[in-house]
Amino acid sequence: MISYARQTQEEQPEASLPPVEEHIAPAPRVSVQAFCETVETAAAVQSAGEDRRLGKAHLKIQMGGMAAAIEAYRSAPTPNVIVLESDGRNDLLGGLDQLATVCDAGTRVVVIGRINDVMLYRELVRRGVSDYVLAPVGAIDVVRSICNLFSAPEAKAVGRIIAVVGAKGGVGASTISHNVAWAIARDLAMDAVVADLDLAFGTAGLDYNQDPPQGIADAVFSPDRVDTAFIDRLLSKCTDHLSLLAAPATLDRVYDFGTDAFDSVFDTLRSTMPCIVLDIPHQWSGWTKRALIGADDILIVAAPDLANLRNTKNLVDLLKASRPNDRPPLYCLNQVGVPKRPEIAAAEFAKAIESQPVVSIPFEPQIFGSAANNGQMIAEISANHKSIEMFLQIAQRLTGRSETKKQKSSLLSPLIEKLRGK
Ligand SMILES: Nc1ncnc2c1ncn2[C@@H]1O[C@H](COP(=O)(O)OP(=O)(O)OP(=O)(O)O)[C@@H](O)[C@H]1O
Ligand SMILES: [Mg+2]
């Protein structure tokens, strides 16, 4: 698909990140070979290859552009994707025609070029080029172009993974993840699932007042059986838009998982659910780290004390470094204002973390305690409690969506937009 309205480089910030509302789904296990002309593009493609969304793809980069590609595929089979840089000096269209004679069916071609011209776009489309990206490119442009080749346009909204983790144990990460998922389902009207990854002690079942006989353990202990239908049977429905993949919360087994134990569960959930909220226990292991790094967005929940500050800082630094083409993780403060307890102020957090907390949720033992013990969400206990607005704010920041209820547009609005455009 060729988009005619590319951003010009002047509009792009130095290391451009995708906008919040854009969701780039990870690419499947495909082979990609890039033939670059400039070191700048080669560097961008190289760092694209290190992006989490291309983690499964096999990427090979070489220099020499079109000529090198034609030469390479004279004898070798073509990969799933060929990325070609054209610096505009050579005959791009002639080269593509020549390449077509050696390309296997099913191979897709992405061109990175410098010429911004509709006639050229048309000729490229006619030759079956899948995407044309205007140079100079950043890593995220390459990631986007490759990933979009494999996600059907109608599946665009599918599969956003939101990971929630506590900076310390017991800070309220689970409570917040459950209430935020509730807001996503109720106020943003997105189908969401909460996956309780605290298999031994998870409370999602208690919090939503559900006691399903099956849940996430059935999937993670039999990865070979995991597919859409299998996972569907493990979900228990909490509300219209919200389902739960519950933890067993039993101790007869131990839960020492391998690093990629949850991969197939997450991949399957992604293929059917628009929003997946992971309630990640406070621990540092191969699989928790992988779940955090692989998520589309991250929320760290911290209580306002020194250990939480240090841990939040460490988590944010690590996640920023491992996800250079993503928004930095978000964090919020929780249990703020415990009587007589000395606290570190939100401003101190903001200085150390180099970003503001999304919200600071007050310590409210009465209402949070009742919710926990009754198996209810805060909104069910007190419809106007101030924390509800905060959960919604977190939901909006994480999904990039605004509230649907307040946005009701009239039937005529597309027409009105058009008229305005004129
Ligand atoms: N803002 C708040 N005010 C008062 N109590 C709260 C608040 N947030 C959470 N709690 C309570 O704190 C306790 C711990 O919460 P929760 O289980 O969500 O924490 P967690 O970070 O997931 O803990 P764990 O490390 O065990 O996973 C619960 O009893 C919950 O009701
Ligand atoms: Mg928890």
Whether residue 365 has its Cβ less than 6 Å from ligand 1: yes
Q: Residue 357: what residue type?
A: P
**3-state DSSP helix/strand/coil % of the chain, to nearest 5:** 40, 15, 45
Whether residue 334 has its Cβ less than 6 Å from ligand 1: yes
What is the residue with the minimal CA distance to atom 24 of ligand 1?
170
Which helix (H) or strand (E) covers residue 73, if one does?
helix 65-73
- Angle of helix 286-294 relative to helix 306-322, nearest 10 degrees? 60
pLDDT the model gives residue 9:
40
Residues 6+ apart with CB under 8 A from 167: 282, 300, 301, 302, 303, 307, 308, 309, 311, 312, 315, 331
Architecture of domain 13-148: 3-Layer(aba) Sandwich (3.40)
Which helix (H) or strand (E) covers residue 145, if one does?
helix 139-148
pLDDT the model gives residue 28:
87
pLDDT the model gives residue 412:
55
The per-residue pLDDT for range 216-259, each reduced to its tens digit, is 999 999 999 999 899 999 999 999 899 999 999 999 999 999 99
Whether residue 231 has its Cβ less than 6 Å from ligand 1: no
Candidate from 164, 368, 376 with most ligand 1 atoms within 8 A of CB, to mutate: 368
CATH 3.40.50.300 matches 160-399 = yes
CATH 3.40.50.2300 in the chain, residue ranges? 13-148
The per-residue pLDDT for range 263-285, each reduced to its tens digit, is 999 999 998 888 999 999 999 99
Q: Residue 85: what residue type?
A: E
Low-confidence ranges of the chain (pLDDT < 70): 1-15, 153-158, 403-422
Candidate from 171, 175, 196 with most ligand 1 atoms within 8 A of CB, to mutate: 175
Q: Sheet harboring 108-113: ordered strands across?
A: 58-63, 31-36, 81-86, 108-113, 131-134
pLDDT the model gives residue 106:
86
CATH 3.40.50.300 in the chain, residue ranges? 160-399
Half-sphere exposure of 420 (CA within 13 A, CB side): 6
Question: Which ligand 1 atom minimizes the distance to the CA of 198?
Answer: 27
pLDDT the model gives residue 413:
52
Burial of 254 from C-beta contacts in 10 A (0-12 / 13-18 / 19+): exposed
pLDDT the model gives residue 15:
61
Question: Which ligand 1 atom minimizes the distance to the CA of 361?
Answer: 1
CA of 168 to the centre of ligand 2 (A): 10
